Amino acid sequence: MRIVVAMSGGVDSSVAAALLAEQGHDVVGVSMQLYDQREGQTSFGSCCTLDDLHDARRVAAAINIPHYILNFERQFDEHVVSNFVSEYARGRTPLPCARCNSDLKFATLVERARGFGADAVATGHYARVEREPATGRYLLKRGTDASKDQAYFLFSLTQAQLAQAIFPVGDRAKDGVREYARHRRLPVADKPDSQDICFVPDDDYASFVQKRAPATAQPGVIVDQSGRVLGRHDGIHRFTVGQRKGLGLSSSSTGDPVYVLALHPGDRQVVVGPRPALARTALTASGVNWIVGEPTGPQRATAQIRHRHPAAPARVGPLAGQRAEVVFDEPQMAITPGQAVVFYDGDAVVGGGWID
Amino acid sequence: MRVYFDYNATTPLAADVIEAVAVTSRDLYGNASSVHHFGQQAKAAIDDARSLVARLLNGDPSEIVFTSGGTESDNFAIRGVAEALEPTGRRHLVASAIEHEAVLNTFKALARRGWRTTLVPVGPSGILEPERVRDAMADDTALVSVMHANNEIGTIQPIAHVAAIAHERGALMHTDAVQSAGKIPIDVRALGVDLLALSGHKLNGPKGAGALWVKRGTRLQPLLTGGKHERNRRAGTENVPAIVGLGIAAGLAAQKMTTETARVGALRDRLEGDILARVSGTAVNGSREFRVPNTTNISFDRVEAESLLIALDLEGVAVSTGSACSSGTLEPSHVLRAMGFSAHRAQNSLRFSLGLFSTEEEVDRVLAALPGLVDKLRRLTLSGRSPQQRPLAKEG
């Protein structure tokens, strides 16, 4: 079977390619050029810079597979970067990696792969796809290595997308992946993991948003829950719900530490308050994707409200218009609009959506 | 069997060249500037190569300066003339809009230092109209630079006519002959140019060696300063094996010119003719009359060339979407854009360039694979799932 592997130049996707090649598949390595790397020169973020593309090419040569760089700058800008900017402008905290997965890697790249005669696209995600023999449906499950699990970022894949997705490292531990990379003498075996958002230089997303959408950089006030003005700010895109640092408030004016509770783009207000005020029991989500179809009514599940959040027991129910309601058994801290809420049944992803 | 139809990017070495480079690397390790036996041998080998390159161009050996390749030769010609003529008050440069990046980006660099530059557009034929050059000339034009043959579409430019126009206004004339040298006869006297650039690896010679032919008496400042190599025109210890290889390649090219031009031309014509006949929605970009015999550039309606290139490569057929130097960028070919084609057509175009080792079997192989791959890519586009269906943001 011919399989296209999305190679970022990191150790996970490199090992994914090496494993598939070792299994005897006809593997084609592809790296996506997602933004203009000539602009930022050396100061670009951690993933998919020119060095990373070169690393991917070196790995492909080491395991003797063809490798191509595809230019997806236009699609990436349309689907991922524009959304990232507009979400911040709306006082929300976006999750670009999830959009990149559903709208680029398992959309545009799959289409291209088909043109090269490939039936599937593999990535280095720590997640698993399983086909239920009885129903023929595809299940999306957490990666075996709980500390690396990335199923959260894949919740919006459809059945058609899952049918073409392969995650070769999903059933491995990170240590094992590195060990395998060393064993195969891959040039990226000891390369550090990427952390930042790849297209934002120096992780300075506020400057990035401001540059793309100058209108967002409008000053406003910071208020407490009663509306009392505590300070001023340079734009709501600089804040995220749950944030404590960088508010520019003196402790004398607030007493106890305060946290961002809400962002109001209309009047450009940042509402702050004490930590207990961050607790919420319920949320609604939009753009909901159900992995094996929409349930008929509310069901028990665990729900995860950000990447590093232990999924919490909840009742999850579908609402009209691809929406859903989640009611947690216990209050959750800092439910952040724009992030994904993902529902699980044990290790299996039931579905997920974007927090309103 | 893998098919290599990308000779305009680079060429495989001729067997005699491999032998010459190997023997020279092993035996002639002397520094050509040294007084002793070893130096003398190296110097003699370089001068043999100089004669062979001069003969390919109908130039004099003393007019050949060896460089690291085509890009350096173009830089040397343009920057060297600019620096030499700046004290005379000349501050303007003219080139065609379809030059190689080695010329275009050197113009941009000089523009940042206060030079005025004019790029003369071409029509859909891909051939410059000399009268447009006349219109672009100014009293202080120092240099006109027009390529002899275009790297992407192969069209041959009316260099002699353009040179006459340049000289009328007291400007010097440079031609980038990287894609014509070895493919078609070149006579620097008949072309009437002052400078001519060529590259070893485009004519079955090694990479890392090229030459600039500089007409005797031409005012030119060196690009590299240092020792007294190459008659004070290009400092740096000579790359003797590569220069020797270039010389052998130039000699072979001259010797085989007539037969190879006919042979490769016939292969190219069959490839092109059969593609046009067997694949609908195809068209040749640029003049089919005035071009080098090894090149065809074909647009495939409703197919993104990048995808077709990769699909062909996976079938063992190596071609190109245009200049290898611009691979990986989103910019559609500046050559096809300058010819007035839409960004869409520019992104639908593939270049096939043949050469010394190309065979009928290779042409057959391409013709066997190509129509099916084009059909497949078109069906995917039609299925409505391909992003290529969306209007291109840069179209227009």
CB-based contact B310 A68, cutoff 8 Å: yes
Q: Which residues of B touch A54 (CB under 8 A)?
A: none
Are the C-beta atoms of B94 and B133 separated by less than 8 Å?
yes
Looking at residue B6, what is its pLDDT? 97
pLDDT(A166) > 60: yes
Pure H helices in chain A? 11-22, 37-40, 50-62, 73-76, 82-89, 96-100, 109-115, 159-163, 174-183, 205-212, 251-254
Q: What burial letters (b/e) apply to A268-283, b meaning 16+ CB within 10 Å?
A: bbbbbbeeebbeeeeb
Q: Which residues of B touch A75 (CB under 8 A)?
A: 387
Looking at residue B393, what is its pLDDT? 35
By CB atoms closer than 10 A (0-12, 13-18, 19+), residue A267 is: exposed
Looking at residue B100, what is its pLDDT? 96
Q: Which residues of A touch B303 (CB under 8 A)?
A: none
- The residue that leads in pLDDT, A308 or B93, is B93
- Please work out, in degrees rounded to the nearest 5, the angle formed at the alpha carbon of residue B27 by the alpha carbons of B23 and B28: 100
Q: For the segment A272-293, what is each residue's pLDDT rounded down to a tens digit?
A: 999 999 999 999 999 999 999 9
pLDDT(B385) > 50: no
Q: For the segment A307-335, what is each residue's pLDDT rounded down to a tens digit?
A: 989 999 999 999 999 999 999 999 999 99
Which residues does A231 contact at the CB level (< 8 Å), separation at least 6?
Answer: A221, A222, A247, A248, A249, A253
Distance, in Å, from the CA atom of B7 to the CA atom of B353, rounded to the nearest integer, reads 5
- Active-site residue, selected from the candidate residues A47, A48, A97, A198: A198
Average pLDDT over residues A178-182: 96
For tokens 């995917």, name the residue.
Answer: B380
CB pairs under 8 A between A and B: 41
Distance, in Å, from the CA atom of A225 to the CA atom of A223, rounded to the nearest integer, reads 7
Q: For the segment A1-25, what is each residue's pLDDT rounded down to a tens digit?
A: 899 999 999 999 999 999 999 999 9
Q: What percent of chain B has pLDDT over 90?
A: 90
What's the N-to-C CA distance of chain B in angstroms? Answer: 41
Looking at residue B323, what is its pLDDT? 55
CB-based contact B376 A115, cutoff 8 Å: yes
pLDDT(B388) > 70: no
Band of residue B386 on the pLDDT scale cut at 50, 70, 90: very low
**Across A106-115, B169-178, B244-253, least confident range:** A106-115
Looking at residue B60, what is its pLDDT? 97
Q: For the segment B5-50, what is each residue's pLDDT rounded down to a tens digit?
A: 999 999 999 999 999 999 999 999 999 999 999 999 999 999 999 9
Distance, in Å, from the CA atom of A209 to the CA atom of B207, rounded to the nearest integer, reads 45
CB-based contact A66 B385, cutoff 8 Å: no
Q: CA nearest A50 in B: which residue?
A: B328
Q: CA nearest A28 in B: which residue?
A: B314
Looking at residue A35, what is its pLDDT? 82
Q: Which residues of B touch A71 (CB under 8 A)?
A: 306, 328-330
In order of B123, B148, B158, B170, B233, the CA distances from B173 in angstroms are 22, 12, 12, 10, 18
Distance, in Å, from the CA atom of A5 to the CA atom of A22, rounded to the nearest integer, reads 13
Distance, in Å, from the CA atom of B220 to the CA atom of B223, rounded to the nearest integer, reads 9
| Number of other residues whose CB lies within 10 A of the CB of residue A146 | 11
Alpha-carbon distance A115 to nearest alpha carbon in chain B (angstroms): 5
In 3D space, the residue among B317, B283, B384 whose CA is nearest the CA of residue B3 turns out to be B317
Are the C-beta atoms of A32 and A53 separated by less than 8 Å?
no
CB-based contact A71 B328, cutoff 8 Å: yes
Looking at residue B394, what is its pLDDT? 32
Instruction: Report the mean per-residue pLDDT for chain A.
Output: 91
CB-side neighbour CA atoms (13 Å) of B121: 8
Band of residue A248 on the pLDDT scale cut at 50, 70, 90: confident
pLDDT(B168) > 70: yes
DSSP, res B392: P
**Across A42-51, A113-122, A245-254, B61-70, least confident range:** A42-51
| Number of other residues whose CB lies within 10 A of the CB of residue A245 | 7
Q: For the segment A34-70, what is each residue's pLDDT rounded down to a tens digit?
A: 887 654 444 444 445 668 888 999 999 999 999 998 8
Distance, in Å, from the CA atom of A267 to the CA atom of B283, rounded to the nearest integer, reads 58
Q: B351: which strand partners?
A: B297, B320
Are the C-beta atoms of A205 and A95 separated by less than 8 Å?
no
Which residue of A38, A112, A121, A158 is the best one to mutate when testing the B interface, meaning the one whose CB has the most B CBs within 10 A?
Answer: A112
pLDDT(B325) > 80: no
**Across B162-171, B264-273, B300-309, B380-389, least confident range:** B380-389
Chain A residues touching chain B at CB-CB below 8 Å:
2, 28, 33, 66, 68-71, 73-75, 107-108, 111-112, 114-117
Reduce the DSSP state of residue A326 to 3 states and report it: strand
Looking at residue B389, what is its pLDDT? 36
Are the C-beta atoms of B355 and B7 separated by less than 8 Å?
yes
Band of residue B390 on the pLDDT scale cut at 50, 70, 90: very low
Q: CA nearest A73 in B: which residue?
A: B330
Are the C-beta atoms of A272 and A287 separated by less than 8 Å?
no
Are the C-beta atoms of B150 and B184 separated by less than 8 Å?
no
| Number of other residues whose CB lies within 10 A of the CB of residue A64 | 8
In 3D space, the residue among B12, B345, B290, B10 whose CA is nearest the CA of residue B153 turns out to be B290
| Phi–psi pair at A208, nearest 5 degrees | -60, -45
For tokens 């179209």, name the residue.
Answer: B395
Q: What are the start-end ranges of the E strands in chain B? A: 3-4, 64-67, 92-96, 116-120, 141-145, 172-176, 195-199, 210-214, 282-284, 295-300, 317-318, 349-353
Distance, in Å, from the CA atom of B96 to the CA atom of A257, rounded to the nearest integer, reads 66
Which residue of A1, A111, A119, A161 is the best one to mutate when testing the B interface, meaning the one whose CB has the most B CBs within 10 A?
Answer: A111
Distance, in Å, from the CA atom of A316 to the CA atom of A258, rounded to the nearest integer, reads 31
ipTM exceeds 0.85, yes or no = no
In 3D space, the residue among B156, B176, B153 whose CA is nearest the CA of residue B290 turns out to be B156
Whether A100 is catalytic: yes
Which residue of B302, B306, B310 is the best one to mutate when testing the A interface, meaning the one whose CB has the most A CBs within 10 A?
Answer: B310
Nearest to B380 among A33, A108, A111 (CB): A111
Band of residue B364 on the pLDDT scale cut at 50, 70, 90: very high
CB-based contact A116 B387, cutoff 8 Å: no
